[in-house]
A and B are shown apart, each in its own frame.
Chain A
Amino acid sequence: MDFWTDPYLFLVNWLHGLLVGWGLPDAIASFILMFAGAFVLAMGAMLFVLGLIWFERKLVGRFQDRFGPNRVGPWGIIQPLADMLKIFTKEHITPAGVDPLPYNLGPVLAVAAVLAIWAVLPFTISLVGADLDVSVLYVVAIGGLGEIAVVLSGWGSNNKYALLAAFRSVAQLLSYEVPLVIALLVPVMLSGSLSLNQIVREQGVWYIVLAPVAAFIFFIASIAEVGRSPFDLTEAESELVAGFNIEYSGLKFGMFYVADFLHAFTISLLFAVLFLGGWRGPYAEQYPLLGLVYFMLKAGAVYFINIWMRASFPRFRIDQMMGISWKLLTPLAIGAVILTAVIDKLLPGGELLPYGDYVRVGVMLGANLVLVVIAGALMALQKRKHMLQEFPIAASKGFTVRDVSVNRGTK
């Protein structure tokens, strides 16, 4: 374990030796190193957001056939820094009658809830903040804290619209958390552990191959949890006057913005950990830094798809959004769990050998495909029934749902 194969472990051991050599007891030295590590990780994540903002703005610009920022620095790379400096010096306009503690705690908690997820992500084979044995539940529980942050902000603003938008946002978050936690059961089942570190180590075959439906549900549900397009109804400029962060100005608003981007990248990291094999790749075990590179590349690819979706799809209406979560994603997730549980037990043979057991991969893929086909058939049946109910004459004449605008009827 010299410097070139594993610089991180080498550095940690060297620092530890240095601190002990200065006369500190072992526990204190470990504590100081732990604190330093946590600080570097948190600070690094927050500074990383600048790069994320630049990436997103350039990409969205390109999707919209324009350049994106390109004046400030080469390819506009200093633009987010300039924006950050600007927002740091804006006035904090506090409206009258706010409840001071919830009002100020809201943005801080929103960022903290996202940052906290970085503590359990396995970056390489040896670099993980906290190797909890219940990391998967920890990630979901932290999402719950994020919901509280929304309620605090909406409540603390002393503004009807902010409160209404906060409730809508919480209803959206609650609705999409159900398919999210149910779909998360599948990687836990396949790997036999609730620890993210263990899930990555068990992925001889990436879980996106073994459980594509669960991966899809997790992807969609996590985009809705972040509140990005096409699920950004509660914070869009044309709806409910920009949502629960109306009364925030300056850096407090900037914190919500940071939390949004960081959360989007964090769920890309989570997707890579759970379904794309995290840091796994050729030679990742011998050279851990290579594992980090693979991890970031995979997360970057998922983030790219995320931005692509944002730039391409129109926003959902609130009743469409709720309908998708409760009536499509939840039953589909439950079906995926039951299917994976039963089929995997019925397959002959023991453990999955890496790159070996093609039968298992084939059967799981096939079973997922069958599930998708059944779901599609049920949906088509439902549409047909609805069409017959609402437009009997058109249905009898042989029109399909594509020819008639099906209004789900918001009263």
Chain B
Amino acid sequence: MQAQDVVLRLDRITKRFGALTANDGISLALHRGEVVALLGENGAGKTTLMNILFGHYVADEGGVEVMGAALPPGNPRAALAAGVGMVHQHFTLADNLTVLENIRLGTEGLWSRGTARATGRAKVDRLARDFGLAVDADARVGSLTVGERQRVEILKALYREARILILDEPTAVLTPQEAEALFATLRLAIARGLSVLFISHKLHEVMAIADRCVVLRHGRVVGEVATRDTSGAELAALMVGGDIALPEARPATVGPVLLRLAGVSTPDQGAAPGLKAVSLDLRAGQITGLAGVSGNGQAALADLICGLAVPQSGGLELAGAAPVRWTPRAAIAAGIARIPEDRHKTGTIADFTLTENAVLEGYWRPGFSRRGLIDWRAAQRFAEGIIARYDVRCPGPGARIRLLSGGNMQKLILGRVLEPGPQIILANQPVRGLDVGAIAYVQSQLIAARDGGAAVLLISEDLDEIMGLADVVHVMSEGRLSPGFARGTKTAAELGLWMAGEGFADAA
């Protein structure tokens, strides 16, 4: 490719946060009509790099060039004007406005003429047609599915004449079918001369869509390879700096039902659906996988099992008996290990130490406190045990947990809930945002717990993860639960149809 084809050039970007060097002399070039995947473990510096590129951070050294012109640092507006469009993982749309209003937001002058709206509309329609982004311009964003919202985000970037699209983990919230549609759109975009920078953890997607991969580790570029010259295994090894064996799940002996939901319904929580007559058995020695697109009732099910919610109708039984008062404390006392979806917001307290976080849900147990007095020495020994046995990389038990990476935070949570030897384990998105090494570790711990006779409920939006680990798979859609499918009896595409809401008895 010719040098003048370079649309985006990052030149030796260095960014330090105190002692940590998040980006260390990263150089990267994106050519016209090319898809480059940016790969790396969590904490490898991808997000920092994107924030510098988009002007949210100012680099300590190095510069950004778009179309051959230097981009002024720290100015998102300049990045937008230069034709850089960013689609964040968490959408930045106003729910109460229509698609068209969202797209035009911020582009209108203070006194826009009536005709501007009509031209804007025509432009949106044309873009939607050209790029295969079918969406109703007059629909309120609040009523759209996640996949549709993502299309609106992309349209928004295209509307502002973006020539470079940056997509941050775009498929994390999509069904396999929606992801395919997204890839089709990206192919249309590069055919029209746009360039795409694609950030992902999912190697097979990277292999499917990207021309080139740039792999980051510890803030440095450790590899740059053409996709056709590499393999998923090679990329994974580059990312973690060694070979990683993902755990292989073997079937285990299935025991009795430890937790049973019989026709449980819970009220909707705003836009998030509640449970609709859900019946589910969790058996000892079995990993039950729960697949589904984000926001289809998984949170309601997790809240119920965590003790944060009670059934509105229907019943919950633990080992054959209905609990009298269902609270988080009751769930903990009943031996349910709960790995929450959001380890930052609900799993840990950022400003508390590792020791304090280790006993956050067990401080009242006789081993840790007597007559209202906490035995901090016992708590610290407990934390030190977790740090040693679960390989938590940290300065020590007295360090604040906010200093830990996501993977190490998750290991501490894992140790906290698994140490008491739980019978039932709820793992809600246990590996989301973790690096490959930590993923393998967390998954092997879940498998070990299952082999030890625990009933595991694994909730994940990553279908590959579910299909790899679960002995039985259920799919959730709009609060409804599909029947259980034994391992290997359904393909990803078939499960994808269930995820899209087809196959349910009351489906329209």
Partners in one complex: no
